Amino acid sequence: MSSRRTFLKTSSGLAAALAAGPFLKAQEPAPAALPTVRFGQYEISRLIVGCNQFYGYSHFNHILDELMREWNTPERVCQTLQSCEENGINAYQYSHHDRSLSDFERHHANGGKMQVIGVNFGKTPIEDVVKRLRPIAMYHHGEATDVLFREGKMDQVQEYTKRLRQTGVLVGVGTHKSEVVEYAEERGWDVDFYLLCAYNRTRTPEELRKILGVVPVPSSEVYLETDPPRAYKVARQTSKTCFLFKILAAGRLTGSPQSIDAAFKTAFESIKPKDCVVVGMYPRYKDEVKENAERVRRILSA
């Protein structure tokens, strides 16, 4: 009899818990909103999710590239984007290539409302990308910008921004070189923002030899600790919104929570109140989305 009473009590308790499940979930406190800034006619979070990890661009080595590509199925990409929205991140630095468009459309079809700051990394006409993607902003790809800057062909970058302007989106220039921002500013380019890398990772072997005295192993990317202060200074000097990316040196500063905290804190303390940071999320081993969102709330509230 005792065992029967125990069973009935347990069963009724389980039924009550199942019935109250949705109610209990609804009562869970929602994460505090992330600080936002005005960007054109939009409100965007000061933490923006990047896309490199989704498609295997680790900027570390080919093994990590493959691990990222293997894990980030379309389903997981959508789950990460949904988690970002749940944690207050409402803008996505999107690169148009391979399956990225179909992944984003899938997220949108599932109710996602992520705002896109995009780059057309391919041969698709930008007008077609804008029409289908409906981004709030587009920019000239950073790698391409840096090459054209070295070759003295910045007129091609400016022409591209003029084409972007005709589509009605906010217009920007991406780069890994602070001097590119200075170049455009000195000439009064008609752009709304810059996507600026905290590290100048596109130096030529000759430039590295001049700085370091040697050239690192081929295919290595060099991240110098003297680069972020320069990038942050240039970001402060322009009145335009700047999106700083690779503040964690493409994962090289993620050895401890303290080093991550320090990189985020330095970035936000060094840029304008209207500037944002772009960070890729790879929540395979821990909830990076939640951790980064909480980190930004803590730093900016202080």
Which of 35, 240, 251, 272 lies closest to 139, judged by CA? 240
Percent residues over pLDDT 70 in the chain: 89
- Of 14-23, 91-100, 120-129, minimum mean pLDDT range: 14-23
* Confidence at 73, pLDDT banded by 50, 70, 90: very high
Q: Where are the domains of the chain?
A: 31-301
| Whether the predicted pLDDT of 131 surpasses 90 | yes
Q: What is the dihedral of CA 49, 71, 129, 81, to 10 degrees?
A: -40
| Whether the predicted pLDDT of 299 surpasses 60 | yes
- Distance (Å) of CA 287 to CA 110, 252, 276: 21, 18, 21
Q: Look at the block and give the residue holding tokens 């030899």.
A: 209
pLDDT for 30: 67
CATH class assigned to 31-301: alpha beta
At 24-69, the pLDDT tens digits run 444 556 666 899 999 999 999 999 999 999 999 999 999 999 999 9
Structure tokens at 89: 């991140």
Higher pLDDT, 198 or 13: 198
**20 residue type, one letter:** A
* Confidence at 124, pLDDT banded by 50, 70, 90: confident
pLDDT for 10: 43
| Whether the predicted pLDDT of 116 surpasses 50 | yes
The pTM of this model reads: 0.89
pLDDT for 28: 57
Query: Can you tell me the distance from the alpha carbon of 171 to that of 98, in angstroms, rounded to the nearest whole number?
Result: 23
CB 131 within 8 A of CB 168: no
At 178-224, the pLDDT tens digits run 999 999 999 999 999 999 999 999 999 999 999 999 999 876 799 99
Q: Look at the block and give the residue holding tokens 């990590």.
A: 64
* Confidence at 14, pLDDT banded by 50, 70, 90: very low
At 138-158, the pLDDT tens digits run 999 999 999 999 999 999 999
- Of 22-36, 210-224, 232-246, 288-302, minimum mean pLDDT range: 22-36
